Amino acid sequence: MRVRLTDLAVKKLPLSENGQVTYWDELTPNFGIRCSTRSKSYIVLLGEKRRRKTLGRYPDLSLADARKQAKQLLSANAMGEGQVTPHAPVVAFEEAKARFLKDCEGRNKPRTVADYRRLLNRHFNFKGDVREVYRQQVMRVVSGLSATPSEQSHAYVAIRTMMNWCVRHGLVDHSVVPPMKQKTSERDRVLSEDELRKVYLRAQETPFAFGPIVQLLILTGQRRTEIGQMRRSWISHGEVAFPKGFAKNKREHRFPLSPLSQQVVADLPNTGDLLFPAATDFEKAFTTWAWHKKRFDEGLEAVEPYTLHDLRRTFATIHAKIGTPIHVTEKLLNHVSGTISGVAAVYNRHSYADEMRHAASQFDTYLTELALTPT
């Protein structure tokens, strides 16, 4: 039976009450969908002997992907390669993942490789041939991470990067993971004084490691991964020095630890060089952000939803409020595209160390008074 296969038409095709019924596509010769009593499967006929090959089941495999696979197989068959493609060596998804991560170790930073390994092993554990991974399977996993947008985005990038690598190395013919289309809007969330006080007091009563991490995020304005991976060997005489290549802009970044920040660090348990190691391995940095943040926020009342990065924006806003010059705030935040950039950055080599130290002390005073303010 011939029909014009569309997404709607495939969805409406009934399952067979007895045996199997095949509907052949009017647009792509030798391509169709076979309906049995329990499922619908895309198929293609190859060669003069019309050898049938099953491409995958609906809805795990989309019509567009099935048609694309069929065209590739039909084209290869017409060129005399039809006996090669269907019988290419099977490479399991887990093996492809292991090869990808191994290759990354020689090309990417250890931190990037660790992120890829965590994301792929946690979220993508498909069984069978890597060529039988379909877009719907990937999107089902990605959609399930909607409660944690950052994790969702990073997971999508990881699986897309891996599948593109598989294409380049001949493990699959094409990637089933399309470019991620997302509208990004600039956040402007700044915590109110009452909200900041509640988050800060909550952090003081929350045990290691997340409580001290949040305290340092509030007190220093640094990014969460920078605090989460900070090392004792980077701290000397009340100053932190992020090495070149570590921070987001890849430059060395030096900033003072205020008296309150120094006290937080001094009270930390002895965990080796890493201030905040993983709970099960002191050689690896803290990574369980979503889990701890969710439980941390359960103890907060009358605080609107916020991200840890919003604490960094709040830090900058408070410095403006207490009179810190904008160029000093930017030095504290390690911004390179602000008031001191371009030619000015080339010629202005002043470290602003004293100015930053004074600003950090002023911030301590503000936060201490805020924490003592009765609710």
- Those residues of the chain that have pLDDT short of 50 are 81-87, 183-184, 340-349
* CA 132/CA 151 separation, integer angstroms: 25
* CA 244/CA 95 separation, integer angstroms: 35
What's the pLDDT at 79? 64
Please report where in the chains the tokens 């980077």 appear, as a residue. 234
Question: How do residues 214-237 score in pLDDT, each as one tens digit?
Answer: 999 999 999 999 999 999 999 999
What's the pLDDT at 197? 95
Q: Which two tokens stand for residue 147?
A: 């409660």
What's the pLDDT at 230? 96
Q: Which two tokens stand for residue 191?
A: 């915590």
The CATH number given to 2-87 is 3.30.160.390
What ranges do the domains of the chain cover? 2-87, 93-168, 193-372
User: Which of the following CATH numbers is that of domain 193-372: 1.10.443.10, 3.20.80.10, 1.10.10.10, 3.30.450.40?
Assistant: 1.10.443.10
- Whole-model pTM: value is 0.54
C-alpha 202 chain-centroid distance? 27
What's the pLDDT at 186? 58
* CA 261/CA 57 separation, integer angstroms: 57
What's the pLDDT at 312? 96
What's the pLDDT at 196? 96
Question: How do residues 88-132 score in pLDDT, each as one tens digit?
Answer: 567 899 999 999 999 999 888 888 899 999 999 999 999 888 888
| Alpha-carbon distances, residue 294 vs 12, 18, 253, 278 (angstroms) | 42, 51, 30, 18
Reduce the DSSP state of residue 58 to 3 states and report it.
strand
Please report where in the chains the tokens 């503000």 appear, as a residue. 366
